[in-house]
């Protein structure tokens, strides 16, 4: 069979792309060397939280994507979606001024109010946003690809011949790269992905948690299976030499620091709420794919060298219309979802689908063109 699309990478980015294209009547295959949701997506919280603060282009994108994804997951898989809101407690990054964001709408809850809800709350106060949830990442990803063919395969090269891509024995007219932090199958010199490692734990506790709580870490409300997610630590690695090719557990450079990291998460959780009869049932680690601007990237992949050869004046700042640039044939990507893959996934997949099937332009902030022009100007000699 010749597929319309092969998607490489079965994390939340790839699975959402598979879903929208399959719904649009396309024949879709999705391949992953590890399995479904085994990379960052399997390690995720996966909290869906608003980003408060004075309105800017990044938090506007996050909050738009949040509303889209909340609605989407509730309809797609209600049994894996727990939507009870989030209490945000001020910290260094999000002080009171940032949290009092009228545009998002919040309810201030003082310590007494919280103690009335549950006497397990510590002496904390915070801002409650009702539009927040937590989902089960693995259930979501598996549900999204129902109706598509999944193959476990480590793709080593993109071979394009006679108008078709050959991926092992599979053939397709179009490819979407959703590889997360892994080395891209293609050199895209204007997209510099760095891994931000993190750890998330699932615990059982007799304490009932009424809604998600977020300070420097996040604690979920009791999910539908009764467990509570607590995540996630961050360790930035903005080092060009460091690449990520596998999952943390298989990585030869991974230093197992679980005991210390879990203890730190639990200590931070304990400052917010008293968790009785605590039992850690699962520890997950992963690397989020991030670029410095924190915006995700979506769209058709520009061939950097050929475009520059065709229009050398781009390096001097001349803006050539995007449709005149040289693109790899039928090759797309969705990546750099950072710490918000489950928030961005459904929204970005729908943007890409509209772009491919209906030629709707990709918003500038998340387009590859933005990075292409910026890199070209930087490389001016």
**Smaller CB distance to ligand FAD: residue 43 or 308?**
43
* Least distance in angstroms from the C-beta of 334 to ligand FAD: 7
Query: Taking CB under 6 A as the rule, does residue 180 contact ligand FAD?
Result: yes
Of residues 209-248, those binding ligand FAD (CB under 6 A):
231-232
Contact residue for ligand FAD among 26, 38, 214, 371 (CB under 6 A):
38
User: Under the phi-then-psi rule, with left for phi > 0, alpha for psi from -120 to 50, and beta for the rest, what region is 277?
Assistant: left
Collect all residues with Cβ–Cβ distance below 8 Å to 252 and sequence separation of at least 6.
Answer: none
In angstroms, the CA 15 to CA 349 distance is: 9
Query: Taking CB under 6 A as the rule, does residue 45 contact ligand FAD?
Result: yes
Inter-residue contact 207 to 82 (CB < 8 Å): no
**Smaller CB distance to ligand FAD: residue 205 or 335?**
335
Tell me how many residues contact ligand FAD (CB under 6 A). 43
Contact residue for ligand FAD among 286, 299, 322, 349 (CB under 6 A):
286
Binding mask 184-213 vs ligand FAD (x if CB under 6 A, - otherwise)?
Answer: -x------------xxx-------------
Query: Taking CB under 6 A as the rule, does residue 22 contact ligand FAD?
Result: no
Inter-residue contact 375 to 189 (CB < 8 Å): yes
Query: Taking CB under 6 A as the rule, does residue 33 contact ligand FAD?
Result: yes
Q: Which stretch binds ligand FAD (CB under 6 A): 45-53, 59-67, 93-101, 323-331?
A: 45-53
Query: Taking CB under 6 A as the rule, does residue 41 contact ligand FAD?
Result: yes
**Smaller CB distance to ligand FAD: residue 99 or 248?**
248
Of residues 147-176, those binding ligand FAD (CB under 6 A):
154-155
Query: Taking CB under 6 A as the rule, does residue 50 contact ligand FAD?
Result: no
Residue 347's CB: how many other CB atoms inside 10 A? Answer: 22
Query: Taking CB under 6 A as the rule, does residue 339 contact ligand FAD?
Result: yes
In angstroms, the CA 121 to CA 274 distance is: 6
Burial 176-187 (b: 16+ CB within 10 A, else e): bbbbbbbebbbe
Inter-residue contact 42 to 210 (CB < 8 Å): no
**Smaller CB distance to ligand FAD: residue 213 or 337?**
337
Q: At 150, is the secondary structure helix, strand, or coil?
A: strand
* Least distance in angstroms from the C-beta of 195 to ligand FAD: 9
**Smaller CB distance to ligand FAD: residue 346 or 376?**
346
| DSSP state for residue 22 in the 8-state scheme | H
Collect all residues with Cβ–Cβ distance below 8 Å to 112 and sequence separation of at least 6.
Answer: none
Collect all residues with Cβ–Cβ distance below 8 Å to 339 and sequence separation of at least 6.
Answer: 196, 198, 232, 234, 288, 290
* Least distance in angstroms from the C-beta of 286 to ligand FAD: 3
Contact residue for ligand FAD among 6, 7, 13, 269 (CB under 6 A):
13
The structure tokens 């510590």 sit at 122
Query: Taking CB under 6 A as the rule, does residue 131 contact ligand FAD?
Result: no
Query: Taking CB under 6 A as the rule, does residue 340 contact ligand FAD?
Result: yes
Q: Which stretch binds ligand FAD (CB under 6 A): 11-19, 78-86, 258-266, 350-358?
A: 11-19
Question: Are β-strands 235-236 and 279-290 bridged in parallel, bridged antiparallel, or unpaired?
Answer: unpaired
Angle at 27 between CA 4 and CA 323, to 5 degrees: 35
Q: Is the peptide bond before 196 cis (omega within 30 degrees of 0)?
A: no
**Helix 341-358 and helix 57-76, axial crossing angle in degrees, nearest 10:** 90
In angstroms, the CA 180 to CA 40 distance is: 8
Positions that interact with ligand FAD (CB under 6 A) = 8-14, 31-34, 38-41, 43-47, 154-155, 178-180, 182, 185, 198-200, 231-232, 286, 288-289, 335, 337-343
């Amino acid at each position: 069979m010749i597929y319309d699309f092969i998607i490489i990478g079965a994390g939340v980015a790839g699975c959402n792309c598979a879903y929208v294209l399959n719904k649009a009547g396309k024949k879709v295959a999705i391949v992953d060397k590890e399995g479904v949701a085994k990379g960052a997506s399997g390690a995720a919280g996966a909290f869906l939280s608003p980003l408060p603060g004075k309105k800017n282009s990044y938090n506007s994108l996050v909050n738009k994507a949040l509303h889209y994804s909340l609605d989407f997951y509730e309809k797609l898989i209600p049994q894996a979606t727990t939507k009870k809101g989030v209490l945000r407690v001020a910290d260094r990054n999000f002080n009171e001024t940032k949290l009092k964001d009228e545009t998002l709408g919040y309810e201030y809850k003082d310590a007494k109010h919280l103690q009335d809800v549950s006497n397990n709350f510590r002496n904390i106060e915070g801002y409650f946003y009702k539009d927040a949830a937590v989902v089960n990442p693995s259930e979501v990803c598996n549900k999204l690809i129902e109706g598509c063919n999944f193959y476990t395969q480590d793709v080593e090269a993109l071979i394009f011949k006679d108008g078709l891509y050959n991926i092992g024995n599979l053939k397709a007219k179009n490819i979407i790269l959703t590889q997360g932090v892994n080395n891209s199958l293609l050199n895209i010199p204007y997209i510099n992905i760095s891994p931000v490692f993190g750890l998330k734990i699932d615990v059982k506790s007799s304490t009932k948690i009424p809604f998600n709580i977020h300070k420097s870490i996040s604690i979920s409300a009791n999910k539908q299976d009764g467990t509570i997610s607590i995540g996630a630590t961050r360790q930035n690695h903005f080092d060009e030499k460091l690449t990520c090719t596998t999952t943390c557990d298989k990585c030869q450079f991974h230093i197992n620091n679980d005991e210390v990291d879990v203890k730190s998460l639990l200590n931070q959780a304990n400052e917010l709420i008293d968790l009785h009869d605590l039992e850690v049932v699962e520890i997950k680690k992963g690397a989020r794919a991030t670029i410095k601007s924190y915006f995700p990237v979506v769209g058709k992949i520009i061939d950097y060298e050929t475009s520059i050869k065709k229009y050398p004046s781009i390096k001097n700042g001349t803006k050539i219309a995007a449709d005149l640039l040289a693109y790899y044939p039928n090759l797309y990507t969705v990546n750099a979802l950072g710490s918000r893959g489950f928030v961005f996934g459904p929204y970005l997949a729908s943007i890409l689908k509209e772009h491919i099937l209906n030629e709707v332009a990709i918003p500038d902030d998340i387009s590859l063109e933005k990075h292409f022009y910026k890199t070209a100007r930087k490389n001016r000699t």
